[in-house]
Amino acid sequence: MAEKILVLESFLRCHVCSETFRDPVSLSCGHSFCSRCLQRFWKKAGNKNCPICKTKSSKDNIWVNFPLKGLADSLAGRQKTGSTGRKKRGEKKVEVVCEEHPEVPHWFCEDEQKAVCPVCEISLHQRHKVVPLEQAVRNLKDQLRSDLKSLQDKKDKHQQVEKTYNEVIQLSKEQLVSTERKIRADFNKLHQFLREEEESRLAALREEEEQKGKTISREMKMIEEQISSLSDSISAVEEDLQKDKVGSRCLTVLLLTRCACVHREIKQISVPEQLKEN
């Protein structure tokens, strides 16, 4: 019954204002509109063509379609009562019926996509494709099922794409973590190698410096000893040179002996490598 009411609402809707008919009028082409809506439309268009099929109206004067008005008014009362009935439980619902014919409209015009009364309206749709309302409902349901399946298929595809993207995002995150871990490990190894290499180079430098210090200390000690020996020899030579009272022959022998000792001592004194290079 609810589906029939929806079809009836579509049948009683003005194609100009999209509201339920108010004082509906019917043209010779069979289309109906609110009287005021049609008058305003004609005034704006500058002609008297049908707003739907553009057929020129053959009527100079249009009159209210009272059977259609009664059905529209009945539907308006049904909507008002129905909305109140949803608020108050147990209130009796008002059924919408054609005032001229008590049965609920059970034919459907596929050309205009609206329900028609099988008695008072069917003559206006003789050139249209009219089918039983139940069949129209079945056809519409089949179409909706087909559309629903298409929508579901699209939804499934979108969900599959979404799943794929989520998997890609998760894989990217895992690869990021793995790559970061590998980079950190590689650089830790490199840092460890550089630290060890630094310590090795510094240790070698300290060892070399220590060996140089020992060598220099050893040579300095030897030089100091040689300087002391040379100082003694110089003092002895100077002392011999001061001896005037000795006989010339004795002095000559003394000087020769001293020269031989000095030459022998000079040969024994080693010169450091640094002094040889200079």
3-class DSSP state of 99: coil
Q: Tell me, what's the pLDDT at 131?
A: 72
Please tell me the CATH code under which domain 2-128 is placed: 3.30.40.10
Q: Tell me, what's the pLDDT at 228?
A: 84
> Comparing C-alpha atoms, which of 101, 55, 57 is closest to residue 115?
101
Q: Tell me, what's the pLDDT at 61?
A: 62
For the chain, give every domain's residue range.
2-128, 149-277
**First-last CA distance in the chain:** 125
DSSP, res 204: H
Read off the pLDDT of residues 52-65 as tens digits, 9 standing for 90 and up: 888 887 666 677 77
Q: β-pairing, 107-109 with 24-26?
A: unpaired
Where the chain has pLDDT below 50, the residues are: 78-99, 246
DSSP, res 49: B
Polymer length in residues for the chain: 278
pTM of this prediction exceeds 0.85: no
Q: Tell me, what's the pLDDT at 243?
A: 63
Read off the pLDDT of residues 8-56 as tens digits, 9 standing for 90 and up: 777 888 989 988 888 888 888 888 889 889 888 988 988 888 898 888 8
* Residue 183 in tokens: 């980079």
Please state the φ and ψ torsions of residue 132, each to the nearest 5 degrees. -60, 145
* Residue 238 in tokens: 């100077």
